[in-house]
Amino acid sequence: MKNTFGQSLTVTVYGESHGSAVGAVIDGISPGIKIDSDYIDKKLAMRRPTGLISTGRVETDEYEFLSGVYNGYTTGTPLNITIKNSNTRSGDYDNLEVVPRPSHADFTANQKYGGYQDYRGGGHFSGRVTAGIVLAGAIISSALEKKGIKIGTHIKTLHGVADAEFSDYEKDIEKLNARHFPALCEEKEDAMKNEILKARENLDSVGGVLESAIIGLPCGLGEPWFDSVESVLSHILFSVPGIKGVEFGSGFQFADMYGSEANDAFIYDGESVRTKTNNNGGINGGITNSMPITVRCAVKPTPSIAKAQYTLNTSTLKEEKLVIKGRHDPAIIHRARAVVDACLAIAVADLLTMRYGTDYLGR
């Protein structure tokens, strides 16, 4: 079972939705990174559900460092973080062992693990496991920010409602990281929340597109082929539950452009070389060119919905109606923002330590 991401700086996730805890182990992390509990708590709060637009399962996310931290700083040895689970209702999932939810991992997990998997709450496939990713990402992101590297994500579109575009990347990222709901425009936030509430009232769910920007990266990160920046970031982003598409820069819009429209001309602005446009999203030949990296993720509607659906009883091999019990999100996209930010921080840190050494983030 492969649960580790990275080559130089690695993050391993563990735990199940209704087990005693979830968590992460960071290896290859620099010594001397200050553990900022306020910063970590803020990032965890962005992932935590709130109100009717989210699941009713709210965990306190009480965490503990089992190793790798001493006197408030990382030691450089493997850092093990555990986050307790307490608010579980496992009885809601009793029938899912033989009646898999459509578009969920119930069926494929059963096939892979031969029925030995913990299916309660989705088990190891649950979004609950992302709490460990967000916590690990918060530690890494705090170190990146001291290097001038900042990451921000907003909901570009949600069920037909479009947010404002990135304009001033630094100010926009600062604004997003201060807001619980990831929209640049407050009017669009209200419209998006209304769409989520409509889906909830209809016992359904909605998805959308997240757009992220990374600024402050040095030119020259990444490799030309199998460890290109796009390859590394896509790898970790596609690991996030519910993400079904990833594109960089103009992405699929390139298909409708001429080369003269798509190319980014190089200029000198008096201080550094940059490009006049950023259709390639800050990456040329798999390598950063010092422009902002822009990446978008398509997030599917939450598969666990309260509306009656048909599925197959894998014991009787007969079709039957399924009404899913339990507490589920009418949309996960606003909570997934924190997970995407964390994943980008982890991937960027791995790229940086591959090029500059594992002590880079602590210097």
> Number of structural domains, the chain?
1
Q: Over the stretch 66-114, which tens digit does the pLDDT of each residue have?
A: 999 999 999 999 999 999 988 666 566 667 778 888 888 888 888 888 8
Whether 16 and 118 have beta carbons less than 8 Å apart is answered as yes
Integer CA distances (angstroms), 361 to 31, 132, 170, 216, 349, in order: 8, 20, 21, 14, 8
The predicted model gives 287-292 an average pLDDT of: 97
pLDDT reading at 5 higher than 70: yes
Residues in the chain, overall count: 363
Separation CA 289–CA 221 (nearest Å): 8
Measured from the Cβ of residue 60, the count of other Cβ atoms closer than 10 Å reads 11
What range defines the domain where residue 251 resides? 4-362
Give the ranges where the chain is alpha helix by DSSP (H). Answer: 37-47, 106-113, 130-146, 169-176, 186-201, 229-237, 259-262, 333-356
Pick from 240, 160, 164, 166: which is nearest to 196 by CA? 160
Measured from the Cβ of residue 270, the count of other Cβ atoms closer than 10 Å reads 5
- Output the furthest CA–CA distance in the chain (Å, rounded): 72
The predicted model gives 117-129 an average pLDDT of: 81
Separation CA 334–CA 110 (nearest Å): 29
Pick from 56, 123, 43: which is nearest to 340 by CA? 43
Residue 9, classed as helix, strand or coil, is: coil
Integer CA distances (angstroms), 182 to 53, 213, 329, in order: 13, 13, 16
Please report, for the chain, how many H helices and E strands are present, in that order.
8, 18
The predicted model gives 130-142 an average pLDDT of: 96
Q: Return the H-helix or E-strand segment holding 107.
A: helix 106-113
Q: Which two tokens stand for residue 31?
A: 């010594």
**Which CATH number is 269's domain given?**
3.60.150.10
Q: DSSP code of 206?
A: -
Which pLDDT score is estimated for 92? Answer: 61
Task: Give long-range contacts, CB 8 A cutoff, 24+ apart: 264-269.
Answer: 264/291
Pick from 179, 146, 212, 152: which is nearest to 45 by CA? 179
* Range of lowest pLDDT (83-97, 159-173, 218-232, 262-276): 83-97
Q: Over the stretch 330-354, which tens digit does the pLDDT of each residue have?
A: 899 999 999 999 999 999 999 999 9
The predicted model gives 146-168 an average pLDDT of: 96
The predicted model gives 261-286 an average pLDDT of: 95
Burial code (b: 16+ CB inside 10 Å, e: under 16) for 139-158 equals bbbbbbbeeebbbbbbbbbb
Separation CA 340–CA 167 (nearest Å): 20
Residue with tokens 């580790």: 4
Pick from 326, 342, 314, 355: which is nearest to 136 by CA? 342
Give residue 68's identity as a one-letter amino acid code.
Answer: G
pTM for the predicted model, two decimal places: 0.94
pLDDT reading at 1 higher than 50: no
For residue 180, the Cα-to-chain-centroid distance in whole angstroms is 15
The predicted model gives 210-215 an average pLDDT of: 98
* Range of lowest pLDDT (142-156, 253-267, 311-325): 311-325
